[in-house]
Structures are given as structure tokens and as C-alpha cells.
Structure 1
Amino acid sequence: EQLRRWQELTINQGFDPSLFSMANSATCIWHHDDPRISFAAIRPGQLISGVNVSNGELKMPPNLYLERIFSVCSEIADVRFVKKDQSLSYGASERMPEDGYVATLPFGYNDGWLRRMQKSSVIINGKRMPIIGRITMDQTMVKLDRKYPIGTRVTLIGKDGGE
């Protein structure tokens, strides 16, 4: 139906439908062999960054290998030893589950790291570390497996080691 409407629209505007395209990332991947679709121009979108645009809901064709080519990184700005049950972040929304180290990253919702990412993780030296406490406007706290030096690279999006 979408294809029919597109072709009708272009013809009604006096355009040759074969010269115009509705081929976005998903069309390029999963409908590339449909003879009704023109690929005179395409809009590859996030595909050029190596992202499966279906968020993993559709399997990639076996002949197409994607690799993410970008990352978002920060670094540890502060490290503190925190006792078990100590409240963390705004609203004391979480407590430290055990004695250990917590890092503060200078990266928060003002930078696009949404508060709903609170239960996700980051990667430090090839290991996943959980975000702990509420993400603030300009900071995120991470529970560490050991003490890391200030300035240690933290991967928020991308690869580090095997993660």
C-alpha cells in the first residue's frame, strides 16, 4: 500500500516514479530485490553507522555484515569509596548494595544520556559496570569492580574489549 501510494503521488505530481525513491535503510536491507521499488536514490540513515535499523527485531541477511563504526565515550572524573546502604544520587533512589567504589562520569541527561538509562551499564576496560543511582543533568554514577584512576576511559556506546 505504501509503495502504491508513493507511485501514485509521484505520477500525479508529473514525476517519473523510477527516478524517485522511497528506499530508506530498511528497504535497502529487506526489500532490495523488489522490482517495483526504484533505487535511483536511497536514504541509508543509521545503516551507514552499522546499526540494525529494526533494533534487532529482524535478522540481517546472511550476506550483509554490519559493524558499528561509532562510539560515545567519557572518562572517570571522580572515584569514591562508598559504604554498604549509603544513599546515592538525587532522591536517594538507590543504596549502595555493598562496600565498594563508585565513579562519577561527567555525562548526564543534558548530554543525551536519558534518565531511563539508569538501569543500564557502561564499559570500562572491557568490563560492564552498572549505572547506579539517578542520572543527573551532567553526571552519571557507576558501581566499579575495583578502584580505577581518574581519567580512565568509559564507553557508553560502542565496543571495548569483548563487550
Structure 2
Amino acid sequence: MSHTTFPSIDPAAHLARVRERSPLIHNITNLVAMNTMANVLLAIGASPAMVHAREEAAEFTAIADALTVNIGTLSPHWVEAMIEAAEAARLVGKPWVLDPVAVGATAYRRETGARLLERLPTVIRGNASEIIALEAGGAGGRGVDSSDPAEAAEQAAVRLA
């Protein structure tokens, strides 16, 4: 396995910049993680917004500093909000994070993952099985648990990057 060397990172300096700027983060996240996500963002000095309505998701993305999309609890209305928000982020060059929770578990999740991937996320945050399933467009994983070791996802991650 090859490893990439990254420049020295100063976490304290990054945290200080976040606290100084207090970025507005638009989150379309699952019901299980919503409160935790808001509290983590508040703890680091960001300003969380949980905006899920399709009627306002894209418009809100335009005023936010970044977008996170977590597909943990899908419904048709939320999926359309995710797609529209991700497209808005792509069009205006805002960074956005895709968390393809259990993307390989069902056809609906695979289709949603593929539609979101077309919107070119800045970061994909997933376990090994999610990365493999997202890249291949196939079934895989054990719901939210990975059934693959991290090393098995390396090539899929490289192709997604």
C-alpha cells in the first residue's frame, strides 16, 4: 500500500481560523446524527444549519460556507433536497461533503449515491464498504457497518478522487 505524505498540519491554527470565521455549515444529515452534528459544529465555533426542505435547500446552500450531505435516513423529498443542494454547491464552487451511509445496502441508496456523486463532492467520508460500493455502483457492506478492511478500498478511493 502506498502512502501520501501531507504537509505538516497545525490543528490549533485550523481551529483558531474556524472560530475566527464562524462558517455557516448547511447540513442535510440523518435523523440519528443531526443533534450530534450540530453540537460538534457549535463546539468548534462553526454555525450549523439543518435545512432539509427541498423548497429551500439549494437557496440556503448559496448563502452557506459549506454543505454536508449524509444519506443515513432517506426519503424522496430529502433526496431531492440533497441533489438540489449538492448541485447548487457544485455550480457556485462551495465545498461539500458526501457521507454515503450504507450506500451499498439497497437499490434506492445506490441510485441516490450515484446521483450525488455526479455533483462532484469535495470530500467523500465513508467506511471501506461504502467507498467500494459507491465507486462500483454495486451492493455491499452490512448496512452502516463495513464488511471490508480499509486497505480493500484504497483503489476505489483513488478512482473516486
Q: Same fold (TM over 0.5)?
A: no
- Structure of higher CA gyration radius: 1
More helix per residue: 2
TM-score (norm 1): 0.24
With normalisation by structure 2, the TM-score equals 0.24
